[in-house]
């Protein structure tokens, strides 16, 4: 009998075909998100789940879906999955690293540029018919080239950002991470390791690229923002919950930092209404990995993982390989 799987979000046609060639597929259609009770109901009897960053996999859900053996997310982040609970129950979890690194770093740099150079503010003004004349300080923003880029979280995406900044923009690179990079990588990137507080103090532009967890929840809050330069910009391409949005609103309103660019939000797709009232912020709807080639690569990698996991092969990018073989 063919194993049953759930494709929990609309997926590319070739991915559905590939999975349907191997499994009995229940595929969610349309762009809706399954509510937790719908997800639980649709997962009954399913051996595998193809999910995205929006479906939460909790211990309770796993207990309610005992047939589930593999959860394959089309995202590099996996804070929506209780990995320990999966491992304890022998459920394999896979994610999609590497294939989105460069694309997400591109977006991070674009957001940094847009934020520092006040591009959204300029476009709003132009569209509103408010571009009347020139003045010497009209929409004068912050310099990017030659300044210091602070990177909080120096994994694959952080390093890809560092390369763009150093080799493309002649920036100084400073970073803070759970663990220090090997000395030759630091040398190649020209990256200086700093304590988190020193990074906050020294960065002209600070980009957040660290994984979200209980430990990183609100790790940028009022105290951290107060260490930053009043001319600094803050860019978040990681997860919304890393930043205390109310503290950020206050800091931006009082110009304790110059500007912020956010691709991710704590309650997304709901956006804290106070953020919408600020001029000095660029807001984009979680599009870090959103190019067609990259999204296809992510979707195909998630499918490769699921096929391998449920057919006894070795999945390409497992997060808890210790549960193998299933």
Q: Among this protein's residues, is 268 annotated catalytic?
A: yes
What is the spatial distance between Cα 9 and Cα 111, in angstroms, rounded to a whole number?
Answer: 27
The CB-of-15 to ligand 8YV minimum distance in angstroms stands at 13
Contact present, 312 and 325 (Cβ < 8 Å)? yes
Shortest CA distance to 179 belongs to which of 154, 157, 211, 197? 154
Given 11, 18, 52, 236, the residue binding ligand 8YV (CB under 6 A): 52
Respond yes or no on whether the N-terminal peptide bond of residue 325 is cis (omega within 30° of 0): yes
Q: Does 155 bind ligand 8YV (CB under 6 A)?
A: no
Q: Partners of 173 in the beta sheet?
A: 149, 191
What is the spatial distance between Cα 307 and Cα 190, in angstroms, rounded to a whole number?
Answer: 41
Of 216 and 289, CB closest to ligand 8YV: 289
Q: Does 171 bind ligand 8YV (CB under 6 A)?
A: no
Residue of minimal Cβ distance to ligand 8YV: 53
What is the spatial distance between Cα 106 and Cα 100, in angstroms, rounded to a whole number?
Answer: 10
**191 CB-contact burial (10 Å; exposed 0-12 / middle 13-18 / buried 19+):** buried
Given 100, 110, 208, 308, the residue binding ligand 8YV (CB under 6 A): 100
Q: Does 216 bind ligand 8YV (CB under 6 A)?
A: no
Number of residues that bind ligand 8YV (CB under 6 A): 9
Label each residue of 224-256 as H, E or C.
HHHHCCCCCEEEECCCHHHECHHHHHHHHHCCC
Q: How many CB atoms lie within 10 A of CB 127?
A: 9
The CB-of-188 to ligand 8YV minimum distance in angstroms stands at 25
Please choose, out of 75-83, 86-94, 174-182, 191-199, the segment that lies near ligand 8YV by the rule CB under 6 A: 75-83
Residue 70: helix, strand or coil by DSSP? strand
Q: Partners of 48 in the beta sheet?
A: 5, 70
Rg (CA), the chain: 21
Of 45 and 77, CB closest to ligand 8YV: 77
Instruction: Give CA 60 to chain center in angstroms.
Output: 25
Q: How many CB atoms lie within 10 A of CB 260?
A: 27
Please choose, out of 70-78, 189-197, 212-220, 309-317, the segment that lies near ligand 8YV by the rule CB under 6 A: 70-78
Q: Among this protein's residues, is 255 annotated catalytic?
A: no
Of 98 and 197, CB closest to ligand 8YV: 98
Which entry of 69, 118, 176, 239 is annotated as an active-site residue? 239
Q: Among this protein's residues, is 239 annotated catalytic?
A: yes
Q: Does 241 bind ligand 8YV (CB under 6 A)?
A: no
Q: Does 77 bind ligand 8YV (CB under 6 A)?
A: yes
Task: Name residues contacting ligand 8YV, limited to 268-297 (CB under 6 A).
Answer: 288-289
Q: Does 75 bind ligand 8YV (CB under 6 A)?
A: yes
Given 5, 25, 42, 53, the residue binding ligand 8YV (CB under 6 A): 53
Of 39 and 257, CB closest to ligand 8YV: 39
Q: How many CB atoms lie within 10 A of CB 131?
A: 12
The CB-of-100 to ligand 8YV minimum distance in angstroms stands at 5
Q: Does 74 bind ligand 8YV (CB under 6 A)?
A: yes
Contact present, 316 and 301 (Cβ < 8 Å)? yes
Name the residues that contact ligand 8YV, by CB under 6 A. 52-53, 74-77, 100, 288-289
Catalytic residues, by residue number, are 239, 268, 286
């Amino acid at each position: 009998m063919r194993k049953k799987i759930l494709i929990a979000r609309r997926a590319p046609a070739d991915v559905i075909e590939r999975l349907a060639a191997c499994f009995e597929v229940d595929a969610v259609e349309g762009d809706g998100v399954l509510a937790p009770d719908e997800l639980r109901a649709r997962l009954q009897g399913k051996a595998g789940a193809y999910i995205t960053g929006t479906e939460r996999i909790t211990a309770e859900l796993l207990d309610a879906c005992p047939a589930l053996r593999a959860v394959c997310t089309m995202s590099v982040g996996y804070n929506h999955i209780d990995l320990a609970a999966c491992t304890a129950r022998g459920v394999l979890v896979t994610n999609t690293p590497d294939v989105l690194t460069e694309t997400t770093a591109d977006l991070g740099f674009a957001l940094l540029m847009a934020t520092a150079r006040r591009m959204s503010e300029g476009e709003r003004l132009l569209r509103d018919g408010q571009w009347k004349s020139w003045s010497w300080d009209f929409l004068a923003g912050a310099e990017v080239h030659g300044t210091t880029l602070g990177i909080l979280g120096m994994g694959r995406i952080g390093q890809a950002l560092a390369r763009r900044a150093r080799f493309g923009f002649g920036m100084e690179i400073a970073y803070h991470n759970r663990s220090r990079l090997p000395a030759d990588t630091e040398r190649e990137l020209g990256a200086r390791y700093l304590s988190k507080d020193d990074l906050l103090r020294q960065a002209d532009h600070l980009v957040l690229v660290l994984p979200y967890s209980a430990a990183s929840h609100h790790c940028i809050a009022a105290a951290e923002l107060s260490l930053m330069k009043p001319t600094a910009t803050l860019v978040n391409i990681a997860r919304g919950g890393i930043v205390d949005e109310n503290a950020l609103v206050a800091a931006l309103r009082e110009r304790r930092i110059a500007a912020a660019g956010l691709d991710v939000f704590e309650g997304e797709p709901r956006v804290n209404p106070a953020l919408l009232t600020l001029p000095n912020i660029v807001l984009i709807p979680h599009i870090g990995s959103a190019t067609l080639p990259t999204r296809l690569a992510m979707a195909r990698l998630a499918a490769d993982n699921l096929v391998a996991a449920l057919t006894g092969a070795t999945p390409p990018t497992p997060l808890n390989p210790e549960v193998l073989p299933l």
